[in-house]
């Protein structure tokens, strides 16, 4: 039996619903497995904390999180707090402070779910996006001069380091060696004339070290269109921070909805805890109604188990998700009528009754 210390941050909106739901499932997985003893510690950080204390998390937040094996996060965002304040006060400092330079986001069409793209059935869309997670367009370097005047100047810099670019592209190639051996790079080296030609140069240099892996490099605009017109042709897609963010919302849409999409913020060196969160945000429009889709958070829990080395247990959650969706137990965003707790009950009873 291994003790696993998990920092739990439900955060805002539907994070407060889908995180406890996923913890229930994780407890059932642990009791079936007899190999895991979870130690969950919850942190009340997020937008309500900001309203009460003026910060999204305490100044020593990262120090408090450092002693955990993993971080399990729900959602960030609240109409009472500007989005750039909530994001730069919690989610982004964790990703950057803990050097979680890989944001791994699976895009897979599961049985029982309909893609808005016609002609695609279960498993026909199945790839992973590796999003650079610590630099690029999310640089936090820039400023505003003469705000509010006709002479206002606003600058936001992009930062691409050789180390940061090379390591995430290399991760994508290593990952592709374990799948269909095809890496697609997202670029825009026609219009963005310094950072993106550099990105392409590093991509080609790393590719040369992996002669067994096929490659393609597409401008982001064409790649977005190919996600719609030929999503079955991808294996591993690697993209800069902003491009990867946009592509994976599109990825969520083609796999049936953003409520399905999972993400793992990984520090591959294991020096710091990795963080697991769904792709979706806090969905204030449906928060508190008990109808949030818990699948993205559950799939994220499955990625967390994989990361911790509990591959078998991780696969139980995915199988339970598939069986539940196939049985038609789906929340309204997927065209169903089930409430969050009904999806969870179905998943738990599948796990508890596994042979």
Q: Which chain residues interact with ligand GGG by CB under 6 A?
A: 75-77, 87, 91, 245, 277-278, 280-282
Q: How far is the CB of 193 from ligand GGG (least distance, A)?
A: 24
Q: How far is the CB of 279 from ligand GGG (least distance, A)?
A: 6
For ligand GGG, the closer CB: 213 or 303? 303
Q: How far is the CB of 10 from ligand GGG (least distance, A)?
A: 11
For ligand GGG, the closer CB: 257 or 278? 278
Q: How far is the CB of 269 from ligand GGG (least distance, A)?
A: 21
For ligand GGG, the closer CB: 15 or 256? 15
338 is written with which tokens? 């089930």
For ligand GGG, the closer CB: 65 or 76? 76
For ligand GGG, the closer CB: 185 or 252? 252
Q: How far is the CB of 263 from ligand GGG (least distance, A)?
A: 7
The Cα–Cα gap between 320 and 315 comes to: 9
Q: How far is the CB of 84 from ligand GGG (least distance, A)?
A: 10
Q: Are 278 and 302 spatial neighbours (Cβ–Cβ below 8 Å)?
A: no
For ligand GGG, the closer CB: 184 or 300? 300
Q: How far is the CB of 281 from ligand GGG (least distance, A)?
A: 4
According to DSSP, the β-strands at 262-266 and 274-278 are antiparallel
The Cα–Cα gap between 10 and 322 comes to: 24
For ligand GGG, the closer CB: 91 or 113? 91
For ligand GGG, the closer CB: 88 or 120? 88
Q: How far is the CB of 265 from ligand GGG (least distance, A)?
A: 9
The Cα–Cα gap between 57 and 312 comes to: 34
């Amino acid at each position: 039996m291994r003790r696993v210390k998990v920092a739990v941050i439900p955060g805002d909106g539907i994070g407060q619903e889908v995180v406890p739901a996923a913890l229930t499932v994780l407890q059932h997985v642990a009791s079936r497995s007899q190999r895991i003893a979870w130690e969950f510690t919850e942190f009340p950080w997020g937008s309500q904390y900001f309203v009460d204390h003026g910060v999204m998390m305490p100044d020593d937040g990262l120090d408090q999180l450092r002693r955990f094996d993993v971080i399990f996060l729900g959602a960030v965002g609240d109409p009472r707090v500007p989005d750039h304040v909530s994001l730069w006060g919690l989610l982004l400092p964790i990703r950057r402070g803990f050097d979680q330079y890989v944001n791994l986001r699976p895009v897979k069409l599961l049985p029982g779910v309909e893609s808005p793209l016609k002609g695609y059935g279960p498993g026909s869309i199945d790839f992973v996006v590796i999003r650079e997670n610590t630099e690029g367009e999310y640089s936090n370097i820039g400023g505003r001069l003469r705000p509010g005047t006709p002479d206002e100047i606003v600058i936001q810099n992009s930062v691409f380091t050789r180390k940061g670019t090379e390591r995430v592209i290399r991760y994508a190639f290593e990952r592709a060696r374990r799948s269909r051996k095809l890496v697609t790079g997202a670029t825009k080296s026609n219009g963005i004339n310094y950072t993106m030609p550099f990105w392409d140069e590093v991509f080609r240099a790393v590719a040369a070290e992996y002669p067994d892996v096929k490659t393609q490099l597409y401008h982001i605009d064409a790649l977005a269109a190919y996600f719609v017109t030929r999503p079955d042709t991808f294996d591993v897609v690697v993209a800069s921070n902003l491009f990867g963010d946009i592509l994976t919302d599109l990825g969520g849409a083609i796999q049936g909805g953003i409520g399905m999409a999972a993400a793992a913020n990984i520090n591959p060196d294991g020096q710091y805890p990795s963080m697991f969160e769904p792709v979706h945000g806090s969905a204030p429009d449906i928060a508190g109604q008990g109808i949030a889709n818990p699948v993205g958070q559950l799939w994220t829990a499955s990625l967390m188990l994989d990361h911790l080395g509990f591959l078998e247990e991780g696969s139980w959650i995915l199988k339970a998700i598939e069986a539940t969706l196939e049985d038609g137990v789906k929340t309204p965003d997927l065209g169903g009528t089930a409430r969050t707790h009904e999806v969870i009950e179905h998943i738990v009873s599948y796990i508890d009754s596994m042979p």
